[in-house]
Amino acid sequence: MLTLNDIVLRLGGRPVLDGASLSLSAGQKIGLVGRNGAGKSTLLRVVAGDIGADGGTVQLAARARLGRVAQQAPSGEATLTDIVLAADAERLALLAEAESCADGLRLAEIHERLAAIGAAGAPARAAAILDGLGFDATAQARSVSAFSGGWRMRVALAAALFAEPDLLLLDEPTNHLDLEASLWLEGWLKGFRGGLLLVSHDRDLLNRAVTHIAHLDKGAITLYPGGYDNFVRVRAERAAQQQKAAERQVAERARLMAFVDRFRAKATKARQAQSRLKAIERMPPIDPVAADASTRFDLPPPAELAPPIITTDRAAAGYDGRTVLRGLDLRIDLEDRIALLGPNGNGKSTLARLLAGTLPPLAGEVRRSPRLTVGYFAQDQHEQLDLAATPLLHMSRALPKATETQCRSHLARFGLDADRAETRVGDLSGGEKARLVFALITREAPQLLILDEPTNHLDIDAREALVRALADWPGAVVLVSHDPALVELIADRLWLVEGGTVQPFEGDMEDYRSRIAAARREDGPRRTEPRERAEEGRASRQEERRNRAELRAATAPLRRRLKAVEDRMTRLAAEAATVEKSLADPALYANGGRAAEVTRLTARRAQLARETEAAEEEWLALSAEIEAAEQAA
C-alpha cells in the first residue's frame, strides 16, 4: 500500500532523513518510534505530501485513501456530528447528487452505492466515535466553537477515524485525550482494518495496537515485528551481537597485525605477512555499538517533614462560585504515590490546583505542613515560557540569589547541558521545554510533586528516565496521566475523581479498564472472568501495591544515604581532577618550582584517593543492603 524508497530530506542544512525506506502492506499497523527530533513527524508529512523529499520516492497504492488528523482544529458553528459526518466526502457528494438527480438509472446507482458504504448507519457510527472520545449526546449537538482547542482536536481525530481510510496517519493521537478516551482509541485501532502509521510515545498503545515497530534512528528506518516491548528486546539482542562481533574483529585484527609486525622483514615469512595484510584489508568494518546519550532526570532530595503533609476537611473546590468537587476528606503523606482517575471534565485538574495551592477552597479547610514546598507541573505550563529567553535566564529569574554556576548545575540535572542552557526556548523541542519546566518546579527541592500530564512531549526514553527518577525520589507524587503504563509504574494508590467527589479506587489499571468497558456496554456482565477469581486477583494486586509502598518506605533512609554518598563521590572526583590538572601544569615547576605547593597537592591527591576508596566501599555496602531488602520482600 505504501512504499518509501531511500528518502532523503534536509532541513536547514541538517540531514533529517537519510536513506529511510519502509514498506507498509494493506492492513498492516506500524508504530514509528525514535528519539525527540529524530524526524518522525517530518516523515509523516513527507508521506502526506506536505513537504517534498530531497531524494527517494514515496509510492502510495492507486486509489488508496489517505487519512490524517487535520493540522488545524475545526471551528465555526457546525455541530460536532456534522463535522464528523463531513469527513466522508463520498457520502456527502452522493447525498447531494441524489437530491437533484432526475435520471432514474443514475439515482438507483447512487442509492446502491450509499447502501454499499453504509450511509444509513453513518450518523450512529459518528455518534459512537464521538462518544468514545468523550462527547456525550448533548455535546455532539453543540457547535464546535463552544469547545476549547484540546477538545476541538478530539473532534478532528473523530473525523479522521470516521472516514476509515485505507491508510491512517496518526501523530501522537493521545496527547489531547484523557485516560478513558485513550483506552477507547486503543480498542478502536486494534479493530481497524486499514493500514496504520502511528507516531506515539504511549508504550501501552504501541504494545497493543500495532503489528510492527519502525525505529527511526540517524535518518534510517529499521523494522521490527511485534509491539514495543519486543522491539526493545530484539534491538538489545542485536546490539549485543554487534558489539561481540566488533570485539572479535578487533582481536582478530590485532592477532594478524602482530604476525605482520613480527615477520614482515623476514624473507621466509614475507609472503605470509603480505597475505595477512590483505586479509585485514578485506575485513568488512563492524562498528562498535555507540550508546545513545541517556536522558537525565535528577530530582533534588527534599527535606523531611512529619506526616501528613496535606489534609483536607470537607473541602470544596471550583471556579467563580461554581462547585466542581465537594466533601473532600483526603490525606497525603510524604511517600505517597497517588494517581487521579476519571474522565476529563470531572475535576482532576481542579483537585491538582487545590492541592498545589493555586486554587483556594470554596468551603471546608485545606491544611498544609508549614514547611511544605510543592512543585506543580500544569498541562499548559510549557506554553507560558518566555520563548525569547534561554533556560539559563528562566532559571536566573526563578532563583535570583543563585549564581550562574548553581543555575547551570540545576538545569544539568534534567539534561539541559551548556549548549541547551543558552538556546532560545522557542528553538527547543517539546521534550526539552518539558524538562525546563521540571527544572523550574523543582528548583526549591519540593516535598510534593503534582504532575498533570507531564509526559505529553517526552519520548519513551525520557519517560522511562522520569519513572526511574521518581522511583528513587523520597517525596510524594500526585499524578494525572492518560498513559496507563505510567500510572502503573508510578502510583501505589488510585483516587477516582467522579460525580463531584474523590474516592479511593480499590483496584488496579486492569480493573479500571474493565470498569470503562463495562460502562460502555449496554448489556452483559461487568467482567469476563469468574467473580471469585477477579476478587482474588484484585486482593493480590492491592497487597502487591501495599508491599511496594512499604518497601520504598523501609529503604528510603538507605536510598537517601546512597544518594549522599554518590554526591560525595562526585565532589571528590571533581576535586581530584582539579588537583591532577594543577600537578600537570608546567608553571608549577617553572624556575625551580614551588616545592611546598607540590607537596601539598601530592598529599591532597593521596587523601582524596583514600576518601574515594572509602566512599566506594560505603556505596557498595549500601547498595547490597538495598538489594537484600528488595530480595527479602
pLDDT per residue as tens digits for the range 532-545: 333 444 455 555 55
Segment 106-129 shows an average pLDDT of 88
Of 41-45, 157-161, 167-171, 290-294, minimum mean pLDDT range: 290-294
Give residue 95's pLDDT: 87
- The number of beta carbons lying within 10 Å of the beta carbon of residue 530 is 9
Residues near 209 by Cβ (< 8 Å), separated by ≥ 6? 29, 31, 186, 189, 190, 196, 198
Contacts of 420 (CB under 8 A, 6+ apart): 391, 411, 428, 432
Average pLDDT on 370-377 reads 93
pLDDT value for 270: 62
**Integer Cα distance of 570 and 553 in angstroms:** 26
Q: What is the CATH number of domain 310-522?
A: 3.40.50.300
Distance separating alpha carbons of residues 345 and 153, to the nearest angstrom: 16
Task: Give 287-343 as a DSSP string.
Answer: PPPPPPPPP---PPPPPP-PSPSEEEEEEEEEETTEEEEEEEEEEE-TT-EEEEES-
Lowest mean pLDDT among 18-22, 51-55, 109-113, 597-601: 597-601
Q: Locate cell 458553528: which residue?
A: 77
Q: Which residue has the higher pLDDT, 264 or 80?
A: 80
Q: Is 80 exceeded by the pLDDT of residue 262?
A: no
Nearest alpha-carbon partner for 331 in 354, 348, 312: 312
Please give the pLDDT value at position 294. 57
Check residue 168 and give its pLDDT: 93
Q: Are strands 55-60 and 2-11 parallel, antiparallel or unpaired?
A: antiparallel
375 contacts 446 by C-beta, under 8 angstroms: yes
> In terms of pLDDT, which residue wins out, 515 or 340?
340
What one-character DSSP code corresponds to residue 120?
G
pLDDT tens-digit readout, 184-206: 999 899 989 999 999 998 888 99
Query: What is the widest separation between alpha-carbon atoms in the chain?
Result: 112
Q: What is the dihedral of CA 89, 93, 96, 102, to 10 degrees?
A: -170
Three cell numbers written together for 524 = 452483559
Closest among 171, 214, 161 to 192, alpha carbons compared: 161
Listed by start position, the domains of the chain span 2-231, 232-282, 310-522, 556-632
Q: Kindly calculate the radius of gyration of the chain based on its CA atoms and give it in whole angstroms.
A: 30
Band (pLDDT 50/70/90 cuts) for residue 291 is very low
Residue 64 grid cell:
488508496
Q: In whole angstroms, what is the distance from residue 339 CA to residue 493 CA?
A: 6
Cell of residue 562, nine digits: 546512597
pLDDT, tens digit (0-9, with 9 covering 90-100), for 476-505 = 999 998 888 888 888 989 999 988 999 999
Asked whether the predicted pLDDT for residue 390 surpasses 60, the reply is yes
C-alpha 624/C-alpha 87 separation (Å) is 60
pLDDT digits (tens, 9 = 90+) for 294-304: 577 889 999 98
For residue 153, with 0-12 CB atoms within 10 Å meaning exposed, 13-18 middle and 19 or more buried, which class applies? buried
User: Buried b vs exposed e over 12-24: b needs ≥16 C-beta within 10 Å?
Assistant: eeeebbbebbbeb
Report percent pLDDT > 70 for the chain.
88
Quick check: 42 and 12 in contact, CB under 8 A? no
N- to C-terminal Cα distance for the chain? 52
The answer on pLDDT for 288 being more than 70 is: no
Q: How many CA atoms lie within 13 A of 464 on its CB side?
A: 11
Confidence of residue 595 (pLDDT cuts 50, 70, 90): confident
pLDDT tens digits, residue range 202-233? 888 999 999 999 999 888 999 999 998 888 88
Mean residue pLDDT of the chain comes to 83
What span, in angstroms and rounded, lies between the C-alpha atoms of 51 and 28? 24
Instruction: Identify the pLDDT of residue 384.
Output: 81
Residue 255 has pLDDT above 50, yes or no: yes
Identify the DSSP state of 523. Answer: S
Residue 527: per-residue pLDDT: 31
Whole-prediction pTM: 0.65
Q: Is the pLDDT of residue 526 over 60?
A: no
User: What does the pLDDT average to over 627-632?
Assistant: 71
Greatest mean pLDDT range, 291-305, 362-376, 524-538: 362-376
Residue 537 confidence (pLDDT): 45
**Intrachain domains 2-231 and 310-522 with the same fold:** yes
Instruction: Count Cα atoms within 13 angstroms, Cβ side, for 324.
Output: 19
pLDDT grade for 548, boundaries at 50, 70 and 90: low
**pLDDT of amino acid 273:** 65
Q: Which fold has domain 2-231?
A: Rossmann fold (3.40.50)
